């Protein structure tokens, strides 16, 4: 191979890498959304949100998916792992609830106890036996 061909291949690889990086940042920029400073698109009770998905998941996806939702409900459990804190909102007698995922730097898990009434804001990611809210923050 000539030196010119190698230079063209290297330039093409660099341009492709830059294009992939820009596309990745554009597609995943929602992941960097700071929900705490944004107004909720929808405000409702956690049980009503779950009921919407259980009644008609397609309709609920169209209405709530990727929207910032402020929900109120009772803390069922709080789970802490290496990357995040997950707060489950549901009534003890209900099968499903709302799973709210917080970054560890956003919330002190000791501040929430089962039975506490809270208001949480997050981005709805869909329904997997529980409604899933990501990038959550306590809504004041």
pLDDT for position 25? 60
**Do residue 120 and residue 107 come from a single domain?**
yes
**Do residue 97 and residue 122 come from a single domain?**
yes
What's the number of domains the chain is made of? 2
Residue 134 to residue 114: CA distance in whole angstroms? 20
Per residue in 49-68, pLDDT (tens digit) is 999 999 999 999 999 999 99
CATH of residue 83: 2.40.50.140
**Do residue 122 and residue 134 come from a single domain?**
yes
**Do residue 94 and residue 106 come from a single domain?**
yes
Which SS3 state, helix, strand or coil, does residue 2 take?
A: coil
Q: Which domain holds residue 25?
A: 3-32
pLDDT for position 36? 84
**Do residue 9 and residue 62 come from a single domain?**
no
Q: What's the mean per-residue pLDDT of the chain?
A: 87
**Do residue 24 and residue 58 come from a single domain?**
no
**Do residue 19 and residue 65 come from a single domain?**
no
**Do residue 15 and residue 51 come from a single domain?**
no
Residue 77 to residue 89: CA distance in whole angstroms? 7
pLDDT at 8 over 50: yes
Residue listed under structure tokens 């804001």: 121
**Do residue 73 and residue 28 come from a single domain?**
no
**Do residue 61 and residue 90 come from a single domain?**
yes
Q: Which residues, including other chains, have CB under 8 Å from residue 133's CB and lie 6 or more apart?
A: 69, 71, 98, 99, 100, 101, 120, 122, 123, 124, 125
**Do residue 24 and residue 92 come from a single domain?**
no
| Threshold 0.85, pTM exceeds | no
**Do residue 60 and residue 25 come from a single domain?**
no
């Amino acid at each position: 191979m000539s030196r010119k061909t190698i230079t063209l291949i290297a330039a093409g690889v660099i341009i492709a890498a830059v294009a992939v990086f820009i596309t990745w940042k554009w597609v995943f920029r929602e992941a960097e959304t700071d929900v705490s400073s944004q107004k909720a698109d929808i405000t409702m009770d956690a049980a009503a949100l779950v009921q919407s998905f259980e009644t008609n998941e397609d309709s609920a996806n169209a209405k709530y998916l990727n929207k910032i939702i402020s929900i109120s409900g009772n803390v069922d459990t709080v789970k802490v792992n290496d990357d995040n804190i997950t707060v489950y909102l549901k009534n003890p007698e209900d099968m499903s609830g709302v799973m709210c995922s917080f970054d560890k730097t956003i919330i002190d898990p000791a501040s929430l106890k089962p039975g506490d009434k809270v208001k949480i804001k997050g981005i709805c990611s869909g329904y997997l036996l529980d409604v899933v809210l990501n990038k959550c923050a306590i809504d004041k």
